[in-house]
Structure 1
């Protein structure tokens, strides 16, 4: 089955040319997902000249592969926030996300956007005895913070559960249907958009300049890095974040579709929401998350979701399967704002698995900073923060794991020659003393690449579900022939054989 998200089936976004000559703007935005597009829309409305560049195609990354829940219920987070950042900051986190939801609803009304918006209640539920107390603590945290929610005594979805907590006033939508009118607004009001234009570096100065891989310069008064993983890593984000992959299936269920949005407290996570496909209600079921490059065999992840769907709803038809990648921070809060106080460079990254609300929070915050407006969330999300109590242990653990993966990858060899290669799969072989990744097409064509990630030298592992080479250290992903699919890497894997 083709790995394609449901959202891509009904909406065709416009295409844009690659940038081949220098351009100047008030604000240069790198990244054509929801963060970049909404930021460009807000600044264009404020009469700023905006240039947005995207390395592949608009919304081709995480935005196009989301479950598209607009919710402040980010699994079990508020009890944790109360312990780590205190009541005032935890309440701000909720309010920032609720304001993002309100802004989306307001924009839908103002722009008359038809994007399948539904007001929904969000639920975290558990069938694991060890998570029952955590769910109760989360409900108590809702009460302490004034969150509109409580312990759920029943669920609209008739499934067994030991404990559940609900958050009211949430929503879901079709992300591409929402973004298309914003893209059209940007175009019609003087904004410039370029695809297939990869940012490589930034020349600092009074007017920061983005340099593309083709050497083209994009000059602005400000630069906004909305590229998922920051391509300009002055904040050493590779030491403060790790990448996780998760999987989604879209099905026509045999049973009636329940109202509400659901996620489990325990792992493996199961996420459930409805969606419309050609006017018919279907279900999106997600989960099976794991650290990128460490979840083999990945094909089994889809089967686990299918088995769950069959048990709970019955599968009349499996429509689509796809996966996505999320960046997890040390303290579970995104990094949003100025990369440092001296430069006019802004970043938004580390949204965990809640990119729809976090993206809009980012766009509202960054556009306020650029327009010299006060924003009460600036300190909470500052990329310059480091809360020792909540971050230091995770920092040591994360970077110890990176070091272990670096060493482990250098020692692993498998097949010894091309004759043993199976078709249509990737394997690691010893090629003249070098660890190499080999992929043989059905017609016998062999792609051979050095599996050493071009970011910082960790060894990539094979992802059988997506047919990619994935780096377990920082989440870079490459095609069978070595091209970059997802950063932080910018350069392709070295080809060992054409």
Structure 2
């Protein structure tokens, strides 16, 4: 069994710290304001600047440091077991458009790496969706056939580079893996060279969809723009009610080194065991060892024992890759759309100059680049073959989507009501490093006791839509189980859709 390392942050962030960009202080006029500095926002901004538009990127934290900075960083068009489902729900043409759009995104990124000379550990690898359970072989065969019919170089195989046997796998050749932050920092440098403006630590609080649009920020400055793109991973504006069609999912990551000759030589994922994802990356300068990155244990934010999940994932790593020296542990977060396909296009049915990119379901690398190309086409008036496939205005209450839609809303309602009925522990019972929602004078209060014994108390009501937060002890953060907002122990927003902090409380 491999020892679980302390939750010490993303390897990608630690190995590519990058520079900083200023907060927005003065009013600004641009053609397009892009809200969000992850791969979707930065790809969109870069494509628009390349097309001759003036662009400003507004990021609440640091660019490429949110979800994109914590990703597994696989660049592939093979997205688990999506193609057989798409063939049934969207028809063969829908599956082909999905495959084409995602494959072209992989090649677009490869072209950018070559054009800009980006040193981002870009490596071509086959992608695999595998299962160890023989009962899933028929499912894998159907997926391989559907992916091949959709235009991917896919096949069903029974042998892989993994150090353990599998019952079968779907293999798609010619995919890629990379260092996401090195890639995006270089892309941002080129965006700035093309006249783009980038602002960090600039939280957006309001959006006026006039002509032109106006974006208000926490710094007091306003951005006036003809078009606005909301690429904040989970949309920070609720006017489109997209939160009813998204389900937040958090996953854990452990990473460490193995000898280079033990590299499984591909990118792997299985839907079994709460998901397990495996890939490697270059490590060191002599090529003797590789960084092994293992992801899994997906769960709804704000539910369950995260430390136990980290221990379980570390144990799996040690069992399947004996001798791995785990050095890093972090977590990532994704949003699953109720009908499988991301939501990229106009923000709502009445939108004329506002757009959104969300719901990538764990495949934000190819999805983000695809979104950049699609949104640029919509804004510049160019045709795009797959715009209808990803259009957020598509009818959501179809017979096929309804069960997942209802399940998502039932889960949210269960948390909204049920979490308020949970017994509240006494404050005195909190040990150092722990937090809990307690009752003080009839109100629910989120209380954390730091390592020195001092108490930090904030409102337990998420500032997004009012669900009660819960404490993630492994990452020492308050998390909302309804829509995935996250806050530090003093209530500051770590991750949206919430944009306002939890209110301080005196106890």
The TM-score bracket by the shorter chain reads: over 0.9
1:127 to 110, 125, 132: 132
The alignment partner of 2:262 has SS state of coil
Q: Which residue in 1 is equivalent to 2:380?
A: 371
Contact kept, 8 Å, 2:460 with 2:469, in 1: the verdict is yes
Q: Does 1:142 align with 2:143?
A: no
The TM-score with structure 2 as length reference comes to: 0.95
Residue 399 of structure 1, aligned match among 405, 409, 432:
409
CA distance in 1, matches of 2:222, 2:310: 42
- Contact 2:163–2:321 (CA<8 Å) still a contact in 1? no
The normalised TM-score by structure 1 is 0.97
Q: Hey, what's the Cα distance between the residues in 2 that align with 1:129 and 1:430?
A: 50
Change (3 A) 1:20 1:413: farther
Query: In structure 2, do the counterparts of structure 1 residues 401 and 2 end up closer, same or farther at CA, with 3 Å as the change threshold?
Result: closer
Deviation at 1:358, TM superposition (A): 0.4
Determine if contact 1:246/1:324 at 8 Å carries over to the other structure. yes
Q: What SS is found at the alignment partner of 2:66?
A: coil
Distance 1:342 1:123, change over 3 A: closer
Segments of 5+ residues of structure 2 without an aligned counterpart are: 1-5
Q: List per-residue Cα deviations over 1:186-234 (Å, max 9, x = no partner).
A: 2222211111100111011111111112432111010011111111222
Matching of residues 333-482 of structure 1 within 5 Å: 333-339=341-347, 340=349, 342-387=351-396, 388-416=398-426, 418-482=427-491
Alignment partner of 1:305 out of 307, 310, 313: 313
Q: Does 1:488 align with 2:494?
A: no
Displacement of 1:341 in angstroms is: 5.0
Could you tell me whether the CA contact under 8 Å between 2:159 and 2:168 is conserved in 1? no
Question: Which aligned segments of 4 or more residues in structure 1 are displaced greater than 3 angstroms?
Answer: none
State how far apart, in whole Å, the 1-side matches of 2:157 and 2:173 are.
11
Tell me, yes or no, if the aligned pair for 1:413 and 1:428 is still in contact at 8 Å.
no
Distance 1:341 1:455 in 2: 23
Say which SS state the counterpart of residue 400 (structure 2) adopts.
helix
Shift of 1:2: 4.2
The equivalent of 1:23 in structure 2 is: 28
Assess, with a 3 A threshold, how the Cα gap between structure 1 residues 81 and 335 changes in structure 2: closer, same or farther: same
CA RMSD of aligned residues (A): 1.4
Taking the aligned partners of 2:475 and 2:34, their CA distance within structure 1 comes to 29
Equivalent position to 1:268, from 256, 266, 274: 274
Q: Quote the residue 1:58 is aligned against.
A: 63
CA deviations on 1:347-406 (whole Å, 9 max, x unpaired) are 100001101000001001001111111000100000101250221121111111111111
Alpha-carbon distance in 2 for matches of 1:14, 1:394 = 42
* Alpha-carbon distance in 1 for matches of 2:203, 2:338: 28
1:216-256: CA deviation from partner (whole Å, max 9, x where unpaired) = 21110100111111112221011110100001111112671
How many pairs align?
Answer: 496
Distance in structure 1 (CA, Å) of the matches to 2:88 and 2:405: 18
